[in-house]
Amino acid sequence: MYLIIRENKEAASAYVANLIIERIKQFVPTRTRPFVLGLPTGSTPLGVYRILVEKYKAGEISFENVVTFNMDEYVGLPRDHPESYHSYMWRHFFSHVNIHPSNANILDGNAPDLNAECAAYEAKIEAAGGIDLFIAGMGQDGHIAFNEPGSSLASRTRPVTLAPDTIVANSRFFDDDPAKVPQKGLTVGVRTILDAREVVAIVLGAQKAVALHYCVEKGVSHMGTLSALQLHPCARIVCDEDATLGLKVGTVKYFKGIEQDAPAPALRAPAIHVPSRTPSPIFDSMGSRMADPMPIPAKTKLLNGHANGLTNGFTNGCTNGHTNGHTNGHTNGHTNSHTNGHTNGHTNGHANGL
């Protein structure tokens, strides 16, 4: 895990936004092989989204072949409520770029079966090829997403009860009234986040300094779930100077000195297509039927060659087996008969003479 320190929140936000753009361009996504991006909400990433929108409008980046998965959502809050994370994402990011609506995935906090909704979300992440880059925030108690203190580090996407500190902190979005904040939420798990090929958490402000100290300078703990990034081979925490106020001077100096050594993740390999034995229609990710990649004449020739090979192999095998079996049986039978007759005659004659 690497700590990337910038002078202020604007510089930290710019670092994260530029990293997202760099990773997407390196990946060279296509419609059938999109880049998969995990996204947070809250006040911390607003600067990142603003820069991404500016870069998109300037023609520097496209989100046409990007699939996103958000980290969490409130339970019971209508989707069109101004403080739902659906509303947040469309207001601050999605509606300003060229992402396809079907590629923007957010948990449904009003699903009739919340456990089934969470299981389906995990399955959808896996079907997309896994998350290439997960952007995260951190709460004042060190939590990541809605993985409150005490959450299992092996947790997956699931329903959770929000901690009192989270409810109080989020009440600033609900007229400063904790009673208006939903008590429950849906969240990706700590393990879900760690499964991403790269994780970048952004931490801003002096109010996060104590939590950052525990997550960076102390051991991995379920009481501060951001600390689990210590276990990830390609994780970064990007922060401003104010957020480092709780860190030792030596820690800050050390991380500033090794920033250039922060590793980049290995790019996800393209999926290998294994054709089925029975020819079937091929569909793209949007459900449209695509042309069969193998022309009919070539496919027919291939199938006929395969069939002839099987037939000839079977025929020759049976014929040769029968012929060899007959010849060997005849030879062995003649030899055994001659030998046994000679032996028995000699023995009996000798006995009678005596």
Beta-strand ranges (E) seen in 131-277 are 133-136, 158-161, 184-187, 199-203, 235-240
Residue positions annotated with a catalytic role: 72, 141, 143, 148
* Cα Rg of the chain, angstroms: 33
Using the structure block, give the residue that is written with the tokens 């055994």. Answer: 336
Six-digit token string for 203: 């931490």
- Supply the DSSP string of 288-306, one letter for each residue: -EE--SS-HHHHHHHHHHH
Closest Cα to residue 197, out of 4, 38, 11?
A: 38
Residue 115 corresponds to which amino acid? N
**What length does the chain have?**
354
What are the angstrom distances between the C-alpha of 267 and each of 166, 184, 256?
35, 36, 26
- Compute the distance between CA of residue 149 and CA of residue 166 in angstroms, rounded to an integer: 10
- Compute the distance between CA of residue 174 and CA of residue 192 in angstroms, rounded to an integer: 29
